[in-house]
Structure 1
């Protein structure tokens, strides 16, 4: 974005690298725009949030009673916000590996964060999502949403590759109740992911989702595994 001026709000170094939160003025009158970057790579901002919201709404529509939900990846909180907008949700565990990112939402560095995390249904778990799933009790959730990357082809960290493998998906299956669903977000169609899901779940769906970004329509994919 040539000519756009950013102000750095916060920066941290973790064992996974650098995490930066910065802001810029909007093109039209309105609140400032926040942008999150990891190791210099754009992760998300507060303008184009359609994909984060679409993940939640599409996944929630797949479950009759999504009383207990896991969201893998906090980001700037827009997937969580959409989950909490569903009155059927009684509790939502958000698994985020970066403690500092949780802190930025909790202390108001991300302005909408405090109210979001104050919802009594929210439980923040600072951990790797694979470890959190392994520690969860069997048949304890109705819906698991994974939005830690833009799918297996666009990993934020190389270690995340295991989240698209058989062992992790079997662990997810263990914590799902009958009729429960895992929904994985992907920026591109992935036959390999569909194949791995099919090796674990009897019912697998590949859903294209149309999302408007920067005034144009683009297509994302939702990969779904359903328990009987």
Structure 2
């Protein structure tokens, strides 16, 4: 029988102390992996419905083949893994600011690490997503001005509850308009949020994108004996006219 609780890794970083923990759920006996930044829970393998739905909803309206995708934020890898499950995806760049998180996957310390690192379509980029979003050269350091079919982001708790004040400008109209230039016509910007749909952010998306919507994803939370929700924002640029 495995230990009830184990701290697999702990590192000081510029953003705070990052830790990877594993515990055994007493009710199901399954292993639960958790990521914390200082005292703030970032992710748990017990609750992944929102992260998986983020990728699936982002890719749903896109063409039938040859999709190039950016995922901002690696975490435990559930959004990236869900994207790679779609056979239409030909390339995936995962942008992660913390090298420690990338290392967890490369060392197979997390359940999805081996699958992500062995998939030839997937590449990890160790840098700050928000800096790349503002970089006039674009997201791919090897191909300037490269466009993508989907840019999928799961970094902050929500547009209002950010991990760093430096992230806040990304959620304003000027930055999101710049982001549309990194998307193909008809391309998708998708964002995970732990908060309910935000009227202000919905209005920002409607101002910038051709279409936008907020999807509420429900999932059971046995720790609180209730149904919990995440929000997935999906915004699409103007498609090419036939």
Query: What TM-score do the two structures reach when normalised by structure 2?
Result: 0.85
CA distance in structure 2 between the aligned counterparts of 1:86 and 1:30, rounded to whole angstroms: 30
CA distance in structure 2 between the aligned counterparts of 1:111 and 1:219, rounded to whole angstroms: 24
Aligned ranges for residues 138-217 of structure 1 at < 5 Å? 138=145, 140-187=147-194, 188-214=196-222, 216-217=226-227
Aligned ranges for residues 113-132 of structure 1 at < 5 Å? 113-132=113-132
Does the CA-based 8 Å contact 2:69-2:92 persist in structure 1? Answer: yes
Does the CA-based 8 Å contact 1:50-1:212 persist in structure 2? Answer: no
Instruction: For residue 151 of structure 1, give the secondary structure of its aligned residue in structure 2.
Output: coil
1:141/1:8 CA distance change after superposition, 3 Å = same
Cα drift, residue 140 of structure 1 = 1.5
Cα drift, residue 100 of structure 1 = 0.8
CA distance in structure 1 between the aligned counterparts of 2:234 and 2:53, rounded to whole angstroms: 14
Does the CA-based 8 Å contact 2:50-2:232 persist in structure 1? Answer: no
Does the CA-based 8 Å contact 2:130-2:167 persist in structure 1? Answer: no
Query: What TM-score do the two structures reach when normalised by structure 1?
Result: 0.90
Alignment-derived partner of residue 82 in structure 2: 82
Cα drift, residue 115 of structure 1 = 2.6
Cα drift, residue 28 of structure 1 = 4.7
1:173/1:123 CA distance change after superposition, 3 Å = same
Which ranges in structure 2 are unaligned for 5 or more consecutive residues?
none
1:186-216 CA distance string (max 9 Å, x none): 2221112112222322322223333333364
1:57/1:211 CA distance change after superposition, 3 Å = farther
Which ranges in structure 1 are unaligned for 5 or more consecutive residues?
none
1:67-103 CA distance string (max 9 Å, x none): 0111110010011111010000000111110011100
